[in-house]
């Protein structure tokens, strides 16, 4: 919570104040890092890759795409089949 107070000089001395919640956004210091994986796979191959983002506030949202198609997975899933 942040507070701002504004005062006027004499002879008329009025003070106004207000409080407001302020959200602070911090972007990641660098782009996401993708580790693991190969250039090519065959049907049935297991793909193991990791995508990591630097710290940010609020936390970054990472999305997976396969052939330009968004893949919906739950955050607690570590593996999924296509």
Mean pLDDT (whole number) for 69-80: 66
Please give, one letter per residue, the 3-state secondary structure of the chain.
Answer: CEEEEEECCCCCCCEEEEEECCCCCECCCCCCEEEECCCCCCCCCCCCEEEECCCCECCCCCCEEECCEEECCCCCCCCCCC
Tell me, what's the pLDDT at 34? 86
* Mean pLDDT of the region 28-37: 88
Task: Check residue 13 and give its pLDDT.
Answer: 65
- Comparison of pLDDT for 13 and 71, the residue scoring more: 71
Give the per-residue pLDDT at 82.
53
pTM above 0.85, yes or no: no
């Amino acid at each position: 919570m942040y507070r701002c107070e504004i005062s006027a000089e004499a002879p008329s001395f009025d003070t106004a104040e207000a409080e407001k919640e302020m959200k602070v956004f911090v972007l990641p210091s660098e782009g996401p890092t993708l580790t693991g994986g190969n250039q090519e796979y065959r049907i049935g191959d297991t793909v193991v890759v990791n995508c990591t983002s630097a710290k940010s506030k609020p936390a970054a949202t990472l999305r997976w795409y396969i052939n330009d198609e968004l893949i919906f997975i739950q955050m607690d899933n570590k593996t999924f089949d296509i």
